[in-house]
């Protein structure tokens, strides 16, 4: 398992979760990267699990980086990636929706509405000034 974004030359550890088990530990390199080789615990039951890398970020605050995976009934490890058929690599259905475009449009509408209110107030305040 490799990654980056941790504090340079700082300790980290990797745990397999459902029931936390430490599987690796080490020290990040001078750029905050880590590289951990380990064996997946043989006693993990089939189902959803995660590897959690624990360390500190460049500011010294605790951080956890999680990678989810599945142990299939035959003991095979599968990572949850969307397939073209609407299932994950573990054969599970992909659920939920991508609401990013909806949120972008909603924010643009709010900004546009706010702009109209500001312009209307400016125009109205200009008309209500007493004439000399």
Please indicate, yes or no, whether residues 72 and 101 belong to a single structural domain of this protein.
no
Q: What is the CATH number of the domain that holds 9?
A: 2.60.40
| pLDDT tens-place values along the chain, 132 residues long | 889 999 999 999 999 998 899 999 999 999 999 999 988 888 888 888 999 999 999 999 999 988 888 888 888 888 775 444 444 444 455 555 566 777 787 788 888 888 788 888 877 776 655 555
Indicate whether 77 and 105 sit together in one domain: no
Residue 76: predicted pLDDT: 84
Predicted TM-score of the model (pTM): 0.58
Same domain, 20 and 52: yes
Residue 73 burial (10 A CB sphere; 0-12, 13-18, 19+): exposed
Domain range for 114 = 97-132
On whether both 21 and 68 belong to a single domain, the answer is yes
Q: How many structural domains compose the chain? A: 2
Strands 11-17 and 21-27: antiparallel
Q: Give the pLDDT confidence score for residue 97 in this predicted structure.
A: 58
Q: What is the pLDDT of residue 90?
A: 45
Q: Within this chain, do residues 43 and 82 fall inside the same structural domain, yes or no?
A: yes
Choose among 21, 77, 92: nearest CA to 46: 77
For residue 71, count other CB atoms closer than 10 A to its CB: 20
């Amino acid at each position: 398992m490799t990654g980056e974004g941790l504090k340079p030359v700082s300790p980290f550890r990797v745990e397999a979760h459902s029931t936390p088990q430490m599987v690796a530990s080490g020290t990040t390199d001078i750029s905050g990267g880590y590289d951990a080789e380990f064996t997946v615990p043989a006693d993990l039951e089939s189902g959803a699990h995660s590897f959690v890398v624990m360390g500190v970020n460049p500011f010294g605050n605790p951080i956890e980086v999680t990678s989810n995976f599945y142990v299939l009934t035959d003991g095979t490890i599968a990572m949850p990636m969307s397939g073209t058929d609407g299932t994950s690599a573990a054969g599970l259905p992909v659920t939920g929706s991508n609401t990013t475009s909806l949120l972008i449009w909603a924010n643009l509408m709010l900004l546009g509405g706010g702009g109209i209110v500001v312009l209307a107030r400016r125009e109205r305040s200009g008309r209500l000034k007493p004439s000399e």
